Amino acid sequence: MRLNGRGGMRYRILGPLSVTVDGHDVAITAGRDRVVLAMLLLHPGRVLGVGTLVDAVWGAEPPATARGQLQTCVSRLRRSLPADAIRSDPAGYCLTPGPGELDAAEFTRLVAEARARPDPALYRRALDLWRGDAAAGIDAHGVRLAAAVLDQQHVAVLQSWAELELAAGHERDLAGELSAAVDRFPLQEKLSGQLMRALSRSGRQGDALAEYRRIRSALRDELGLDPGRELQELHAALLTGAAAAPAEQPAPLPRIRCLPRTVGDFTGRVDVVRRLVAAIDEAGAAGPVVAVIDGMAGSGKTTLALHVAALLGDRHPDAHLFVDLHGHDAEQPLDPAAALLVLLGQLGVDAERIPPGLVDRVGLWRTELAGRRALVLFDNAASSAQLADLLPTGPGSLALVTGRRRLLGLDGVHPESLAVLNPDEGLTLLARIVGPRVWAEPEAGAEVVRRCGCLPLAIRLAGARLAHRPRWRVADLVRRLGESVLPELAAEDRSVASAFAVSYRQLPPAVSRVFRLLGLMPGTEFDALAVAALSGLSPDEALDAVDDLVDTHLLEEPEPGVYRLHDLLREYAAVLAAESTPEERHAALRGLFDFQVHAAVAANLPAYRGAVVRDIGGQPPLRPELVAAVIDPFARLGRERPALAAYVDAAATVPELAGYAWRLPRAAWRHLFNLGYLDEVQALHERALAVVERDGDQPAVATMLNYLASVHFRRGRMDEAIRLMERCVALRRKVGSREDVARALINLAVVQHETGRWAKSNELAFEVRRLSVARHGRDELNTLAHNFQRLGDYRQALRYHRLRLIGQLGLGDPVRVGDSLINIALIKHQLGAISPAVAQRQARVALAWTRRTNFPHWEANALHQLALFLAADGRLGDAIAEHQQAVAIADRLHNREQISRLCHGFGSTLLLAGNAPAARAMFERALAFAEQARLPWQTALAWAGLGECSITEDPDTARKLLTRARAALADLGAPERHDVDKLLAVIGGADHLQSGAVGETMVS
């Protein structure tokens, strides 16, 4: 039956599993389906992992097809249940019953209300929901384990109800139900005691004594124990007749307080405490609650747990217990049997009553806790297995667990991974330890916290040094800490380094080696592939190692697949790495550097990769399988970008590996350059240039000069760009191939073009053609085309743009294809060969090509030209919108030449639209950037634009500006001078042009 809605949906697990809708049974007959459904109902609202469900269905040896069969089970259940009942999650499956739909949830709600009043009627309603053992008839281990918790809750509620009924004098009505309960739970001393009292008060003294004999025999046979003190005293009272009176009540259990002292300067953690308390409240009072706090060494886990215990202690008045499980001490973790010896001793159990075996101790531990509302703090847990038998199972109990490892094997717990403090919290903690001196020097205090990595233990140790030296200023402590802080963070037998050392020593050998090598890792963040390259492991092995380090909080995962070391852990790992042999360190770094270089090569478009490989020496990657495993090289290089400078510096310090110091900037250049990270391009190439000049590697020097010049070119520092390129050309002529010389010459020609030296630029481009080398990209064609375009020889320009387009289509370079298409459309429009509408269509095609690369510089150019075509077609509103997009992109990239050119075009469109003030502002901006970059053609165009804006309001100013523009354009040989002639004619300036005197004067 397929259910369309929730209707009268009822799930029952307090007894045999059943599902009904409006009173009609829904048949769930397949055994595996029942196991899966029972698991989901026993953990309502929680996502159960596929592994957990597979273990529940098949146990320790699932078939190879287990995951597929599990999906089939879930599919069958979905056909029988409401459409939205079972939710899929990347981690597994979840079933969240609605209000009143699940009997176990209703039981929990009623019990919580009953405890709050207390009200025997509410307890009775809760007990009436039970129809037998929880999930009866389903024998899967995982089901029985979870169902046992419910059964324990059942008996505890039954005891609470019985106690209220006995106090009210209803013992005659209790005997039968308590007898049945004792049959189900034959070792529950409190239940047997209640039955004995009910029988005695009903005049059945012999039956009461018989029940005592029965449980005494059962305890001796099953656990090797005698009944507890309370039951023995009740038995003695029965023998004397003193137990018959209804007013007789057992002596209250003593309140036990065994938690250690907490600190008085607890600081911050507001959100964490709120989450923990909310999770504990949400779990309710009916069942045992377990909260697990994990985090790196020194993060304040125990302090937080004690703080939460203090907040919630009144809710658990009977016992506050504590055991240090020594999971992260130099000694061995505490054995569960030994831990139970400690806990039972805290409960006041006599040593002679504590059995020697673990199983018997577990039984006694749970029996002693059964009637208590207890809080237990398990500190420094080593593993889930260590805790499995220790966690309380009765209602009203709270277990707080701390540990450095994530305890993934515990079900039904609230996990909380503890981060370090934020800077403000760290400064507040330091001030609470030290006093007013910190607030007198807040900047120095903040520096102490920063050098401590906001780690609470480190801050406490640093603060302790300062607190015991009243004459020290906070700045004195900063100086003592220096940049290597670990040796200073120690007090008596406590130190941050020793805390780290314990975690490190507990790692498996392969994982400890990875952690040690991470001390060599440049930068702060990295992925598992970088770890594989550093360690020589396969990607899967490296991922397993970093997962282990994350689980033990020796490594952080700030976002999926991205890892980093805490500052102090990085320093500790570096100390360990320094103890490795030089050969091991150099081999690890070589693998890492080589991978990073070739991963950066892969981030180049296919059309450019050959040139990059040629520049870096044609060396194939040492481990091609790692490069092939990079899913998105472009995105990965974007993530690695902040670390590139650290990689260059690290390579520069190892003479054998110094070549990577310049190969990495070269491989990453196009990505950084086209996305506008010019500061980083400059910094990387200046660092690398210093290295190759130091080592006398002249070909590498030429390469770095070439790409360093690109930054100055893009920023409009043309003189510096020409100086670097001329030096590059000289080196290429000396030590380079003909192709190397050609590439340097054409780049110099591009710079000369932007400075308005179009004839000089053409000379260089034609020299490149005379070298007759098969060059990638044929960039000299583009340079020749633009030179002829600026000189007004549009047919020659069109010829070279077409030749370039043919070559780029063969190479499959979308950037240059789009650029060629734009320029061809522009020239054909200038020649009158196509209409503005056709030009727009071609521009949109070019824009689509450009956007395939996600290079914003070229996208801005295409948008700009599209806007000019729209303006020529009279679609001024659409043109302005495209101009705005283009200028916004150029502003982000800080390219002076591009900003000047795009602002000039925008100003022209605004002037056509009749908005002279806005146009003037754009022309002024274009002029400012052109003058900063010393770009003569753009400067002249900006003067002309400003002159045109002033024709109506201020003809004299317009004449001066237009005359200056005309002279500059004439000096350049630019065809735009004829457009300026027309504007001057409008205001009567043509007579001056005929003599040429004014032009010559203005040029000077």
Under DSSP, the state recorded for 315 is G
Label residue 605 by pLDDT band (50, 70, 90).
confident
Cβ-proximal residues to 73 (8 Å cutoff; 6+ apart), any chain: 30, 32, 33, 36, 57
**Per mean pLDDT, which range of 58-67, 684-693, 767-776 is the poorest?**
767-776
Q: Which residue has the higher pLDDT, 463 or 757?
A: 757
Q: What is the mean pLDDT of residues 85-108?
A: 84
The span from the first CA to the last CA of the chain, in angstroms, equals 94
Predicted TM-score (pTM) of this structure = 0.66
- In this prediction, residue 470 carries a pLDDT of 84
- In this prediction, residue 724 carries a pLDDT of 96
- In this prediction, residue 747 carries a pLDDT of 93
80, 86, 89, 92: CA torsion to nearest 10 = -70
Q: Which residue has the higher pLDDT, 5 or 851?
A: 851
Positive or negative, the CA dihedral 627, 633, 635, 639 is positive
Q: What is the mean pLDDT of residues 912-916?
A: 92
Amino acid at 26: V
> Which residues is 11 bridged to in the sheet?
19, 102
pLDDT at 244 over 70: no
Comparing CA positions, the residue from 684, 640, 681 lying closest to residue 660 is 684
Most confident residue range from 118-127, 156-165, 976-985: 976-985
pLDDT at 2 over 60: no
Q: For the chain, what percent of residues have pLDDT higher than 90?
A: 31
pLDDT at 804 over 90: no
pLDDT at 985 over 70: yes
Under DSSP, the state recorded for 487 is G
For the segment 547-579, what is each residue's pLDDT rounded down to a tens digit?
Answer: 999 888 889 888 889 999 988 888 889 889 988
Cβ-proximal residues to 729 (8 Å cutoff; 6+ apart), any chain: 741, 744, 745, 748
- In this prediction, residue 285 carries a pLDDT of 52
Residue 416 three-state SS: strand
Q: Check: CB of residue 604 under 8 Å from CB of residue 666.
A: no
Q: What is the mean pLDDT of residues 884-903?
A: 91
Q: Check: CB of residue 460 under 8 Å from CB of residue 429.
A: yes
Q: How many CA atoms lie within 13 A of 325 on its CB side?
A: 27
Residue 238 CA to residue 895 CA, distance in Å, equals 98
Q: Check: CB of residue 496 under 8 Å from CB of residue 486.
A: yes
Cis (ω within 30 of 0) for the bond into 118? yes
Q: What is the mean pLDDT of residues 829-856?
A: 87
Q: Which residue has the higher pLDDT, 999 or 607?
A: 607
Residue 365 CA to residue 388 CA, distance in Å, equals 13
**Per mean pLDDT, which range of 129-133, 515-519, 812-816, 936-940 is the poorest?**
812-816
- In this prediction, residue 648 carries a pLDDT of 96
Under DSSP, the state recorded for 19 is E
Q: What is the mean pLDDT of residues 188-206?
A: 82
Residue 235 three-state SS: helix
Determine the angle formed by the axes of helices 644-652 and 582-602, rounding to 10 degrees.
140
Residue 449 CA to residue 462 CA, distance in Å, equals 9
Q: Long-range contacts for 912-921 (Cβ within 8 Å, ≥24 apart)?
A: 912/871, 912/876, 913/876, 913/880, 916/949, 916/952, 916/953, 919/945, 919/949, 920/946, 920/949, 920/950
pLDDT at 1001 over 50: no
Q: Check: CB of residue 630 under 8 Å from CB of residue 529.
A: yes
pLDDT at 942 over 80: yes
> Which string of DSSP letters, residue by residue, matches 261-303?
PPPTT----HHHHHHHHHHHHHH-SSS-EEEEEEESTTS-HHH
The two tokens of residue 900 are 């000047």
Q: What is the mean pLDDT of the chain?
A: 85
Residue 410 CA to residue 412 CA, distance in Å, equals 7
pLDDT at 659 over 60: yes
Label residue 732 by pLDDT band (50, 70, 90).
very high
pLDDT at 995 over 60: no
Helices (H), 950-996: 955-972, 976-986, 990-995
pLDDT at 252 over 60: no
Residue 406 CA to residue 551 CA, distance in Å, equals 5
- In this prediction, residue 145 carries a pLDDT of 74
Label residue 679 by pLDDT band (50, 70, 90).
very high
Label residue 538 by pLDDT band (50, 70, 90).
very high
Sheet with 92-95, strands from edge to edge, namely 48-49, 92-95, 86-89
Q: For the chain, what percent of residues have pLDDT higher than 70?
A: 93
